[in-house]
Amino acid sequence: MKKIGLLFNGVWSHYTFATAPKYKDLIELIYIHDFDETSLDRLEALMIPFQSNQNAIAKRKDVIYDFLAKGKKVFIEGDSSMDWIEAKWEDRPTNNYWWVENPNNPPISDTDFTHPIYEGLTPRQSCWHTHGSYTSMPSQAKAIQKKPDGEIISWETQQYGGTLFATTLDPIVEHGVQQITHLDHYVDKLIFWLSGDKASGSFDVPRENYGIAVSC
């Protein structure tokens, strides 16, 4: 039974990720414009990927906070237009090629490897690139990942009931894009933390998933 919902903005990387045979039985796509309180019935966790429609989410933020109040988990890859959480994201240049030019100086220098998502990951598996920094976070939040200059990349808080985890990493979108080949490690740990379910096998992309019709 699927325990994780993924707020779906109609973006192909979200679709490719959630429909891959490796993940399709674990993740339920929830189209953002159909998202309401009934969408999260039976689910234990919610993923909100990068490339989401933040205005549409903001209109429905009570659904997310009510879900958290029930003790559930929410994982957010946000962006700087996100004004519905008590934290501030500021854009920073994305460096996709640090591993080519300066491999000993990754964008993230400080990770709490005791956190269940990161436990057992290598530094390379826990950071590929970042899209910004959090310059503030909720009052009771704890930083999980920081850059060399001390700026916060990932944080977590239980102050809303369940666990809210936010990061400027983009594992869901990038795993869907499939240009970074080592993301199974991060994403599979994330899925286990969110649901207790283990994903296994390789990330396949069935041809028949493309060219689908949508009923109006």
Partner 1 sequence: MIQAAVISNGLQGIHRYFVSNEKVNYSVLEIEEDFNPDLTPYDLLVVPNGCDHIAMAKIKDKVASFLEEGNALFCFDGWFTNWIPGNQWVMSNEKKTIDIRYKVKTDTYNLFEGIDIDKLIYNHNISGWWACGYIDASKNADVIVEDTWQRPIIVLDEKTTNGTIILTASGPLGDSGAIPTDDESSYSVLGQLYQNMLSLIIKKINHETSMF
Residues of this chain that interact with partner 1 (CB under 8 A) are 8-13, 15-16, 31, 33, 51-56, 79-81, 91, 93-97, 100-101, 177-179, 203-205, 207, 209-214, 216
What minimum distance in Å lies between the beta carbon of 69 and partner 1? 25
Report the nearest approach of partner 1 to the CB of residue 160 (Å): 24
Q: How far apart are CA 172 and CA 192, in angstroms?
A: 14
Q: Which is nearer to partner 1, 52 or 168 (CB)?
A: 52
As a whole number of Å, the CA-based R_g of the chain is 17
Shortest Cβ 208–partner 1 spacing (Å): 10
Q: Which is nearer to partner 1, 104 or 207 (CB)?
A: 207
Distances (CA, A) of 2 to 23, 35, 57, 185, 194: 10, 17, 22, 20, 11
In the numeric block, which tokens belong to residue 58? Answer: 């903001």
Reference 111, options 61, 77, 145, 141; nearest CA is 145
Measured in residues, the chain has a length of 216
Minimum Å distance from CB 158 to partner 1?
A: 29
CA distance 21 to 181: 17
Q: Which is nearer to partner 1, 25 or 210 (CB)?
A: 210
Nearer to partner 1, 115 or 131 (CB): 131
